[in-house]
Structure 1
Amino acid sequence: MVFAVVVTIDVRPETIDEFTAGLHANAVATRAEPGCLRFDVLRTTDDPHRFVLYELYADEDAFFVGHRQAPHYPAWVTLCERCVPPGGRRNVYAVPAFPDEMTAHD
């Protein structure tokens, strides 16, 4: 079953350029993973230091195993340790409420 992850990240203002560059590299690499169906990066309109990631995977294993064991993932963890204050990253895990209505959008 499709598995979604919504991540909210608050970034230290003094690291915003470093974080944005690393986030872009992470997004490009994640989109190339076999189980990744979608990886959107959003920046909130009310706080330029807050990002929201919408990630959609083929199933839970594609996220918890495939994504987290991908070669680029350790660099992402290190980036977050430098740029995100403690408690500044929140993950919400979800599955479709109406899986039969899931359709692909370009």
Structure 2
Amino acid sequence: MAAFYNFASVAAIIAATIIAEESPTSKETKMIALIVEINIKSGFKDQFMASMLGDAKGSNNDEPGCLRFDVLQDNEDENKIHLFEVYEDEAAVDAHRNAPHFVKWREECADWFATENIRKIATPVYPVPEKWEKRPPVD
């Protein structure tokens, strides 16, 4: 039951800070939030996570337009990972997709995805875009 509350808490935080891309406010704000659900093939979790953390660190530490890159372990399924990413704008998302650490991650993990990734695009609402700051580098 605690696992449900932890995941529900994360979901509530995410829901409180974003709205779906179809929202009328999405045209007023250029920031982009991505919520990604990844299902990993059984037996590949350790390799996947090593590569995923390399991409996360590269995104956070080396991409000026990446304001947040969180890797979240699903509490009910050990082979499910959630990503919460926030970028300054579409150009920052494009820079991320072309960054060496992202390209390396996609190539390394290509055969480890159990399903197609589920990707949602959203617009940060709170805190307001002007209050977001770049997260400092993390080891």
Superposition TM-score, scaled by structure 1 size: 0.86
Cα root mean square deviation, aligned: 2.0
Equivalent position SS for 2:34: strand
* 1:79 aligned onto 2:101: no
1:18-37 to 2 correspondence within 5 Å?
Answer: 18-32=47-61, 33-37=63-67
Greater percentage in helix: 2
Partner of 1:62: 92
Equivalent position SS for 1:73: helix
Per-residue deviation at 1:99?
7.0
Equivalent position SS for 1:21: helix
Point out where structure 1 has 5 or more consecutive residues left out of the alignment. none
Superposition TM-score, scaled by structure 2 size: 0.67
Identity of aligned residues (%): 33
Is the radius of gyration larger for structure 1 or structure 2?
2
Distance 1:40 1:14 in 2: 23
* 1:47 aligned onto 2:77: yes
Equivalent position SS for 2:100: coil
TM-superposition CA deviations, 1:64-89 (whole Å, max 9, x none):
x21011111211111331210242x1
Partner of 2:121: 93
Runs of 4+ in 1 over 6 A off after TM superposition: none
